[in-house]
């Protein structure tokens, strides 16, 4: 599968081509791999520097998957490495999946660990390491066939980012500053963050089939998120799939809303401010004797109170017309599918102040191995 991703908001443009393959061998061995290149062009003001000079940063990410099917169970190991000029991360994990009750039930459990070194650029060719981030993820997910027309899925994720007892544990952005008592200051956030995310989704196909409308289904899902920094978020989403002749259309609508972190500045009535300005030296987070305690201050709009909405249209079409004897590899290309998507992302309050709206696009070519 080849895919090109595009993101554009007020300060940042991302062009990210990627390639991924997956194959199950006759022996039941699963192999897979992928590569992604993130070309990120940002106005450096967005990164915390006072003068606005656009620069492009490249991030490379490569991953591999190896698994083995053992009867109804599948054991899989994954590894991913990401590198950019000031951030390096290794991520590894293992998954055990089970197919039960004649494959009407699927369950999976995963454990993932990620270690990242966080650096700060100091000039065009020098950087310093400001800290690291070790993160653990435990994920349970499953799917249940409800009928010939309906499928239920869900996932539960518990994660711990950072380590409160490690003075080098770092979760901030070394380039981001925030006004504290009138002075721009590098942000300071807790060393550790514990998160919970749970999602559920229902896929329902309509028993409608006409010469033109060959498939109609809906996917309604909802995700709840909460962490010990005080951020609580809700994200309902609806996807509608229609197949009109050979073309598959998907319409997506997603709404997101979150509360601010406990250490986001507030006004006298307790309402979160839109612009992060701290009158005093930070907001106390955690008990004074707690290793995760800090006088915290942040300019990260992701920790503010805001809402967002995302709308997307995707069109996919099998390239069956390329299956011609006169065309080299015609039967191969004829079995592939081309997909194009475009979406618009809007947000409010602090997020809109910092990022603005965004355009998201993708071009995907899926072909069999």
Partner 1 sequence: MKTLLASIILTVALAGCSTVKPYQREVLADRAMAPSGEALEDHFRQHWQESREGGAGGYASAGGGCGCN
Q: For residues 22 and 70, which CB has a smaller minimum distance to partner 1 in the complex?
A: 22
Fill in the per-residue mask, 46 to 65: x = in contact with partner 1 (CB under 8 A), - = not in contact. Answer: -------------x-x----
**Cβ 227 to partner 1 shortest distance, Å:** 8
Q: Is the dihedral of CA 94, 67, 73, 199 positive or negative?
A: positive
Judged by CB under 8 A, the stretch of 2-10, 68-76, 122-130, 279-287 that binds partner 1 is 2-10
Judged by CB under 8 A, the stretch of 108-116, 275-283, 287-295, 325-333 that binds partner 1 is 108-116
16 binds partner 1 (CB under 8 A): yes
C-alpha of 192 from chain center? 20
Judged by CB under 8 A, the stretch of 76-84, 271-279, 280-288, 326-334 that binds partner 1 is 76-84
Please select the residue that binds partner 1; options are 30, 67, 74, 80, rule is CB under 8 A.
80
CA distances in angstroms from 338 to 75, 175, 222, 288, listed in the order given: 31, 39, 28, 57
> 39 and 56 in contact (C-beta within 8 Å)?
yes
Q: For residues 154 and 330, which CB has a smaller minimum distance to partner 1 in the complex?
A: 154
* Span 310-339, contacts to partner 1 by CB under 8 A: none
155 binds partner 1 (CB under 8 A): yes
Angle at 130 between CA 129 and CA 133, to 5 degrees: 95
145 binds partner 1 (CB under 8 A): yes
CA gap 246, 336 in Å, rounded:
13
Nearest to 236 by CA among 251, 211, 219, 212: 219
**Cβ 201 to partner 1 shortest distance, Å:** 8
163 binds partner 1 (CB under 8 A): no
Give the list of residues 6+ apart from residue 284 with CB closer than 8 angstroms, or none: 263, 293, 294, 295, 296
CA gap 358, 10 in Å, rounded:
7
159 binds partner 1 (CB under 8 A): yes
Q: For residues 236 and 327, which CB has a smaller minimum distance to partner 1 in the complex?
A: 236
26: three-class secondary structure by DSSP: coil
Q: For residues 149 and 321, which CB has a smaller minimum distance to partner 1 in the complex?
A: 149
CA gap 149, 152 in Å, rounded:
11
Judged by CB under 8 A, the stretch of 67-75, 113-121, 276-284, 321-329 that binds partner 1 is 113-121
17 binds partner 1 (CB under 8 A): no
Please select the residue that binds partner 1; options are 140, 220, 251, 295, rule is CB under 8 A.
140
Fill in the per-residue mask, 237 to 256: x = in contact with partner 1 (CB under 8 A), - = not in contact. Answer: ----x-x----x-x-----x
Number of residues that bind partner 1 (CB under 8 A): 92
Give the list of residues 6+ apart from residue 209 with CB closer than 8 angstroms, or none: 215
Please select the residue that binds partner 1; options are 35, 53, 73, 103, rule is CB under 8 A.
103
CA gap 88, 61 in Å, rounded:
10
* Span 196-235, contacts to partner 1 by CB under 8 A: 197-199, 203, 205, 215, 217, 219, 223-225, 227, 231, 233, 235
296 binds partner 1 (CB under 8 A): no
Nearest to 115 by CA among 78, 82, 86: 82
**Cβ 88 to partner 1 shortest distance, Å:** 9
99 binds partner 1 (CB under 8 A): no
Residue with tokens 């809109």: 352
Write the burial class of residue 154 (CB in 10 Å: 0-12 exposed, 13-18 middle, 19+ buried): middle
HEC readout, 125-190? CCEEEEEEEEEEEEEEEEEEEEECCEEEEEEEEEEEECCCCCCCECCCCCCCEEEECCEEEECECC
Q: For residues 99 and 323, which CB has a smaller minimum distance to partner 1 in the complex?
A: 99
14 binds partner 1 (CB under 8 A): yes
Neighbours of 305 (CB within 10 A): 21
Judged by CB under 8 A, the stretch of 123-131, 265-273, 275-283, 351-359 that binds partner 1 is 351-359
> 138 and 161 in contact (C-beta within 8 Å)?
no
């Amino acid at each position: 599968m080849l895919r090109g991703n595009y993101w554009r908001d007020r300060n940042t443009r991302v062009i990210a081509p990627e390639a991924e393959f997956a194959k199950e061998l006759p022996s039941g061995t699963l192999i897979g791999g992928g590569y992604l290149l993130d070309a990120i062009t940002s106005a450096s003001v967005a990164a915390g520097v006072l003068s606005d000079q656009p620069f492009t940063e490249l991030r490379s990410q490569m991953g591999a998957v190896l698994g083995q099917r053992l009867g109804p169970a599948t054991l899989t190991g994954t590894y991913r490495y990401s590198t950019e000029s000031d951030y390096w991360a290794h991520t590894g994990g293992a998954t055990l999946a089970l197919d039960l009750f004649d494959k009407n039930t699927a369950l999976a459990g995963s454990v993932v660990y990620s270690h990242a070194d966080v650096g700060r650029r100091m000039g065009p060719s020098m950087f310093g390491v400001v800290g690291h981030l070790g993160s653990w993820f435990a994920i349970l997910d499953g799917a249940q066939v409800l009928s010939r027309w309906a499928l239920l899925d869900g996932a539960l994720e518990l994660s711990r980012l950072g380590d409160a007892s490690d003075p080098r544990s770092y979760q901030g952005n070394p380039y981001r500053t925030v006004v504290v008592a009138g002075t721009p200051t590098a942000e300071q956030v807790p060393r550790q963050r514990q998160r919970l995310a749970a999602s559920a989704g229902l896929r329902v196909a309509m028993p409608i089939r006409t010469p033109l409308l060959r498939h109609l289904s809906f996917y309604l899902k909802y995700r709840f998120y909460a962490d010990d920094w005080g951020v609580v978020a809700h994200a309902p989403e609806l996807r509608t799939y229609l197949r009109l002749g050979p073309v598959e259309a998907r319409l997506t609508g997603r709404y997101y809303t979150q509360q601010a972190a406990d250490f986001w500045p507030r006004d006298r009535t307790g309402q979160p401010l839109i612009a992060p300005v701290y009158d005093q030296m930070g907001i106390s987070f955690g008990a004074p004797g707690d290793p995760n305690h800090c006088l915290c201050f942040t300019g990260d709009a992701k920790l503010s109170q805001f809402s967002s909405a995302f709308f997307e249209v995707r069109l996919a079409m099998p390239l069956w017309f390329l299956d011609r004897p006169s065309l080299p590899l015609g039967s191969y290309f004829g079995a592939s599918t081309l997909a194009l998507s475009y979406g618009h992302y809007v947000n409010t309050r602090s997020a809109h102040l910092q990022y603005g709206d965004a355009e998201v696009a993708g071009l995907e070519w899926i072909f069999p191995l």
